Chains A and B, each alone.
Chain A
Amino acid sequence: MSDPHLEQALEEFFEAERLSRRGFLGRAGSTGVALTGLSAVLAACGGVKGEAQKSKTTKVAVVSHPKTTIGDWTFANWPLYIDKQVIKDFNKKFGGHCKYVEEINDNNEFFGKVRQQLQAKQPIGRDIVTLTDYMASRWVRLNYCQPLDKKNIPNISNLEDNLRTINYDPKREFTLPWQSGAIGLGYNPKKTGREIKSVKDLFDPKFKGRVTMLSEPYDSANTVLLGDGVNASNATIDQILGAIAKIDAANKKGQFRRFTGNDYTTDLAKGNTWIALAYSGDLVQLQSDNPELRFAYPEEGAMLFTDNMMLPTKAEHPYAAETMMNYVYEPEVAATIAAYVNYISPVKGIQDILANRKGGAAIAKNPLIFPSAAIRKQLHPYPALSPKDEQTMQQAMAKVTGA
């Protein structure tokens, strides 16, 4: 038993609850995680009152965030989700100081932490937050983020075509993709005895008790739907509930060893489990220690999640935030980030940059970081659910996972 393993397991434990998909392997930082958890509890204890706020679709006014000095500003992101050199370079190039905080460990937890201030129209002290599609959608719906001044982000032209529009923000007025990732099948062929290709393999009785399922229904239920030939991006709540029922039935038979956040990695690496519903970027990192592990995009298609940069309402440094957004959309910078985080970059043209960069050739060839055009076609964004449907789905899944 070695320290890195303990650390790894610990971090994954704290990460476990839900939807934390940044690879977290063998690196430090659990105290911060515990603290953010604690502060969320404290926030929760601080009386959670609030008037109901109508969500409204506002017509976007022409925004203008005039050029100003950068100053001290704050960028909130998930742990290990950037090469810190990028921040240093940014400070050097544009002046000011970027306070980069790795405080987002869970979309819901972070939302719980800042919701009261947002609802009261107070600044939350963060100029960029990075949240996953369905949470980004909620912020757009509730007017918790403000439109971006595209004049400050000319590099938006480098955005991959398939990400230029998304159901909750069709013109990308409020959100800009940070990184994307696919939800697929992580497996150990030595244990399974064969290649794993299909969502149906998760339900194969031969692997009873050797499979982990993600507890986030946006990921698991939708993947199951894809496996049943349903286009999950247009799924109705009834179809999703059907998929959850299917997961429930298999779970009752003992098919799934556990429901996990990204803590499936320990079990998979140790051989306790053979197949995991997994996040692509995690597998890239896991493979460096466990070369026998593989990742497959299910033949029926895979769910694609995107984490998005947003400018919270009343953010005090919109120009700094937009300058950073523009900076990370420079292909050279985006390439540096992609090489570090191993997820799918939203920026065009970085594959060639990496191929020519020292030590970047392997990354440029990795289909988990640069999926082929054929696979890209098979990647499906999350469905747009109404708040009520979303809650129904979450509650149904919570019943299944026992929480």
Chain B
Amino acid sequence: MLRLSLKRRRQLLPWLFVGPGLMWLIVFFAIPLLNQANVSLQSGDAETGYAFNWAFGTYTSALSDYQTQFVRSLGYAATATLLDLVIAFPLAYFAAFKAGRFKNLILLLIVLPFFTSYVLRTVAWQLILSDGGWVTNRFRDVGLIGADGRLLASRTAVIAGITYNFLPFMALPLFVSLEKIDRRLIEAATDLYASRAQAFRRVTLPLALPGIFAGSLLTFIPACGDFINAALLGTSRQYMIGNVIQSKFLTILDYPTAAALSFILMTLILVGVLVYARLLGTQQLTEAAF
């Protein structure tokens, strides 16, 4: 058997550990990504096939043709993320600080609906919000929607659907970071100078930032590319970029545009995340995380 020097073994060891993960990334991420990049630069038509020829024009036309859907996706995803934060924070706070022995029960309740498939849950909303349904009628009774109005097939329904579907992705990271907070820090703050509100603002909230950051990324990124909520709860006037990509890939068979749209979306999200990290303060985040 080949005997390696200790030094050599020390050098190899990290690769051994990273190896499986790295292979996974290469096979299921890097290669498809490159392939996708290749497809996005092809031109041709669905009937005779596409060939690679550095067709950068696809990017500009994709961006200008589907600007509306891009803006809409980012807008819907941002709104839903914000709503999720507003809903999930008190929930996670309660679970972490106040629930006592019911903590696990609350966590279970947050996760429970997600034992059902994503599409199925969205379809359920389609039935709940249907025009003659109970919910719509009550909204009508209190005058929130007109006599002729509807909940289903509207922007409200799509955003509500996204908010609902991604809630746990916000609530769980929030819970984890709130749970980790050393209670004595809050005690110290209130002992030394702070009212409860001040202590929350100056101590709890900053320490929860990693959770807010992680939660909003986990919500915002998949929400941007979501197409199920718009397809089931919206109309063509609510279609998001995910719907366009899906139809380009599967029904129009315009693979280059679909690939280009995916790349543009990826870039937009990446830039957005960087800006967001900068705004929240990356340094503060990493410090708080460790």
Q: When chains A and B are docked, how far (Å) is the Cα of A403 from the Cα of B249?
A: 11
Q: When chains A and B are docked, how far (Å) is the Cα of A399 from the Cα of B239?
A: 11
Which of B130, B250, B251, B255 makes the CB contact (< 8 A) with A272? B130
A209-B150, A257-B235, A266-B126 are contacts. A108–B253 as well, Cβ < 8 Å? Answer: yes
Contacts of B69 in A (CB 8 A): 402
A106-B251, A259-B236 are contacts. A272–B36 as well, Cβ < 8 Å? Answer: no
**What would 11 A/B residue contacts be, using CB atoms closer than 8 Å?**
A9-B123, A17-B246, A44-B39, A49-B49, A52-B48, A53-B48, A106-B251, A108-B250, A209-B148, A270-B130, A394-B252
Contact (Cβ within 8 A) B252 A115? no
Contacts of A46 in B (CB 8 A): 35
Residue of A nearest to B72 (CB): A402
Q: When chains A and B are docked, how far (Å) is the Cα of A209 from the Cα of B127?
A: 18
Contact (Cβ within 8 A) A18 B251? yes
Digitize A81-111: 1 where CB-to-B-CB distance is under 8 Å, 0 elsewhere.
0000000000000000000000000101101
Contact (Cβ within 8 A) B45 A391? yes
**Interface residue ranges of A241-269 to B (CB < 8 Å):** 251, 256-259, 266
Contact (Cβ within 8 A) A6 B49? no
Q: Judge whether A359 is part of the interface by a CB distance below 8 angstroms.
A: no
Interface size class, chain A: 35 or more
Q: When chains A and B are docked, how far (Å) is the Cα of A398 from the Cα of B232?
A: 18
B121 to chain A, nearest CB (A): 10
Contact (Cβ within 8 A) A44 B131? no
Contact (Cβ within 8 A) A398 B49? no
Contact (Cβ within 8 A) B232 A13? yes
Contact (Cβ within 8 A) B42 A37? no
Contact (Cβ within 8 A) B130 A52? no
Q: When chains A and B are docked, how far (Å) is the Cα of A16 from the Cα of B32?
A: 27
Q: When chains A and B are docked, how far (Å) is the Cα of A6 from the Cα of B48?
A: 39
Contacts of A50 in B (CB 8 A): 44, 48-51
Contact (Cβ within 8 A) A142 B47? yes
A44-B255, A272-B152 are contacts. A10–B50 as well, Cβ < 8 Å? Answer: no
Dominant SS among interface residues on chain A: helix
Contacts of B231 in A (CB 8 A): 13, 16
**Interface residue ranges of A29-49 to B (CB < 8 Å):** 37, 40-41, 44-49
Contacts of A111 in B (CB 8 A): 46, 253
Contacts of B46 in A (CB 8 A): 108, 111-112, 391
B130 to chain A, nearest CB (A): 5
B209 to chain A, nearest CB (A): 37
Digitize B139-156: 1 where CB-to-A-CB distance is under 8 Å, 0 elsewhere.
000000000101011000
Contact (Cβ within 8 A) A5 B39? no
Contacts of B244 in A (CB 8 A): 402-403
B212 to chain A, nearest CB (A): 33
Q: Judge whether B247 is part of the interface by a CB distance below 8 angstroms.
A: yes
B242 to chain A, nearest CB (A): 10
Q: When chains A and B are docked, how far (Å) is the Cα of A259 from the Cα of B230?
A: 12
A10-B119, A47-B38, A402-B236 are contacts. A108–B252 as well, Cβ < 8 Å? Answer: yes
Known contacts A50-B48, A259-B235, A403-B243; 5 additional CB pairs below 8 A are: A41-B250, A52-B49, A209-B150, A270-B131, A403-B236
A50-B51, A109-B250, A257-B153 are contacts. A6–B130 as well, Cβ < 8 Å? Answer: no
Q: Judge whether B192 is part of the interface by a CB distance below 8 angstroms.
A: no
Contact (Cβ within 8 A) B42 A48? yes
Q: Judge whether B100 is part of the interface by a CB distance below 8 angstroms.
A: no
Residue of A nearest to B68 (CB): A402
Contact (Cβ within 8 A) B120 A6? yes
Contacts of B236 in A (CB 8 A): 251, 258-259, 400-403
Contact (Cβ within 8 A) A1 B253? no
Q: When chains A and B are docked, how far (Å) is the Cα of A9 from the Cα of B237?
A: 21
Contact (Cβ within 8 A) A17 B250? yes
Q: Judge whether B132 is part of the interface by a CB distance below 8 angstroms.
A: yes
Q: When chains A and B are docked, how far (Å) is the Cα of A50 from the Cα of B44?
A: 9
Q: Judge whether B25 is part of the interface by a CB distance below 8 angstroms.
A: no
Residue of B nearest to A111 (CB): B253
Q: Judge whether B124 is part of the interface by a CB distance below 8 angstroms.
A: yes
Q: When chains A and B are docked, how far (Å) is the Cα of A254 from the Cα of B243?
A: 20
Contacts of B130 in A (CB 8 A): 270-272
Residue of B nearest to A46 (CB): B35
Contact (Cβ within 8 A) B124 A1? yes
Q: Judge whether B276 is part of the interface by a CB distance below 8 angstroms.
A: no
Q: When chains A and B are docked, how far (Å) is the Cα of A387 from the Cα of B49?
A: 13
Q: Judge whether A155 is part of the interface by a CB distance below 8 angstroms.
A: no
Q: When chains A and B are docked, how far (Å) is the Cα of A9 from the Cα of B125?
A: 11
Q: Judge whether B52 is part of the interface by a CB distance below 8 angstroms.
A: yes
Contacts of A399 in B (CB 8 A): 65
Contacts of A45 in B (CB 8 A): 32, 35-36, 39
Contacts of B128 in A (CB 8 A): 1
Contacts of A271 in B (CB 8 A): 130-132
Q: When chains A and B are docked, how far (Å) is the Cα of A403 from the Cα of B45?
A: 17
Contact (Cβ within 8 A) B247 A17? yes
Contacts of A115 in B (CB 8 A): 49
A78 to chain B, nearest CB (A): 15
Residue of A nearest to B133 (CB): A270
A47-B38, A272-B130 are contacts. A10–B243 as well, Cβ < 8 Å? Answer: no
Digitize B47-69: 1 where CB-to-A-CB distance is under 8 Å, 0 elsewhere.
11111100000000000010001
Residue of B nearest to A216 (CB): B251
Q: Judge whether A119 is part of the interface by a CB distance below 8 angstroms.
A: yes
Contacts of B252 in A (CB 8 A): 108, 394-395, 398, 403
B185 to chain A, nearest CB (A): 47
Contacts of B132 in A (CB 8 A): 270-272
**Interface residue ranges of A6-29 to B (CB < 8 Å):** 6, 9-10, 13, 16-18
**Interface residue ranges of A134-183 to B (CB < 8 Å):** 138, 142
Contacts of B148 in A (CB 8 A): 209
Q: When chains A and B are docked, how far (Å) is the Cα of A399 from the Cα of B68?
A: 11
A252 to chain B, nearest CB (A): 9
B229 to chain A, nearest CB (A): 11
Q: Judge whether A116 is part of the interface by a CB distance below 8 angstroms.
A: yes
Contacts of B48 in A (CB 8 A): 50-53, 119
